[in-house]
Amino acid sequence: MSAYEKFNKIIQIDPDNADAYYFLGTLYNFRHNPAMAIEYLKKARNADSQEADTHFRLAKAFHNVDMVANAMLEYKRTLEIKPAYTKAINEIGWIYYNKSDKKNAVAQWEKTLKINRNDRDAILNLAKAYNDLAWNALKSGKTKEAIKYWRRTITINPGNKAAKYYLGKYSSK
């Protein structure tokens, strides 16, 4: 009997089993069937609304189909239950970033680093944002501002090749 069959059997026996709905939603996510993932994750959320992981998975499922407002609501619910859930904070950062709101995106990723200074996703996200901000500043003729952003990149991600290259190129000018 497959996991899918087992969880369906559990739901037949216990229609309010949040875990079975959650795992079915997760299976559908892995099978790249976002509509079914959303359906089962919503059932899991409705059966147990105090589970942060369920809200996060549901948010990711919404996010994967560009239902950004729904995703944001679920990420925020995740954080209401578990304020230090850094994956949700990072994803909120990406929502802001993709709306060209780099200031709020950076604030989210910096918040993650306050919780876990070694969070690899937040470090890489910030490095990308700082490099983008530096490049935009450079294109606008603001070399000193660009250098400031590249230095921030190096502070959080010392091995960042792009920031090192551009600092070497523009710091001496």
- Give yes or no for residue 172 having a pLDDT over 80: no
Nearest by Cα to 44 from 15, 82, 69, 70: 15
Of all residues in the chain, the percent with pLDDT exceeding 70 is 99
Please give the pLDDT value at position 32: 87
Q: Where does the chain hold its CATH 1.25.40.10 domain(s)?
A: 1-83
Alpha carbons 32 and 64: distance in angstroms, whole number:
10
Token pair 């501002």 is found at 145
> What's the pTM value of the predicted model, to 2 decimals?
0.86
Q: Tell which CATH classification among 1.25.40.10, 1.10.10.10, 3.40.50.150, 3.50.50.60 matches the domain 1-83.
A: 1.25.40.10
Please give the pLDDT value at position 30: 85
Please give the pLDDT value at position 173: 58
What does the mean pLDDT of the chain come to?
Answer: 94
- Give yes or no for residue 169 having a pLDDT over 80: yes
For the segment 82-135, what is each residue's pLDDT rounded down to a tens digit?
999 999 999 999 999 999 999 999 999 999 999 999 999 999 999 999 999 999
Please give the pLDDT value at position 171: 86
CATH code reported for the domain at 96-173? 1.25.40
- Give yes or no for residue 55 having a pLDDT over 90: yes
What's the average model confidence in pLDDT over 39-44?
91
DSSP annotation string for 82-145: -TT-HHHHHHHHHHHHHTT-HHHHHHHHHHHHHH-TT-HHHHHHHHHHHHHHHHHHHHTT-HHH
For the segment 74-97, what is each residue's pLDDT rounded down to a tens digit?
999 999 999 999 999 999 999 999
Work out the pLDDT band at 4, boundaries 50, 70, 90: confident
Alpha carbons 70 and 103: distance in angstroms, whole number:
22
